[in-house]
Chains A and B, each alone.
Chain A
Amino acid sequence: DVVMTQSPLSLPVTLGQPASISCRSSQSLVNSDGNTYLNWIQQRPGQSPRRLIYKVSNRDSGVPDRFSGRGSGTDFTLKISRVEAEDVGVYYCMQGTDWPATFGQGTKVEI
């Protein structure tokens, strides 16, 4: 299975300041179709998961533009340009290139 490793696992943030989460995969996530199936998933306290970013850098509908994703191959980053109170929760990177789809351990973002 592809192992997804996130850092940090806990991220204290200040409102209005930037924040960044790193994710590394144990093998390249470039699929045979040329796409890289790396997603970022947000889970707010008490809520279901929600996808924020798909295929490395594409924001889902309704996701604020303060969220951005970048990276390639095995190294990826989620950035929040200015943290807001509603961003508190756990963030997971997830690969969908190989079965089983695997998730990072999660990064807990707290104010």
Chain B
Amino acid sequence: DIQLTQSPSTLSASVGDRVTISCRASQSIGTWLAWYQQKPGEAPALLIYRASTLETGVPSRFSGSGSGTEFTLTISSLQPDDLATYYCQQYNTYSGTFGQGTKLEIK
């Protein structure tokens, strides 16, 4: 099974900060990586797929990059509405592993 490791597990940042979350795969997954945002009490929502393609309707301050085993989610200017837990997921096989999540707190 492919394992995904996110870092950091928790992150505290101020409004306007640039925020970066990393996701490392245990073996190459090409660009078959997605990022999700889960706000408290809500279902997850898709932000980015194919590692760098922004889902329709997602603010442009979110961006994704990477390929192979190293991936990054960047929020260019943190907003109060971005308080959430963020998950990466690989989906290139019949097993779609999630990372353990990164909880983002607003200072």
The answer on A and B forming one complex is no
Residues of A within 8 A of B (CB): none
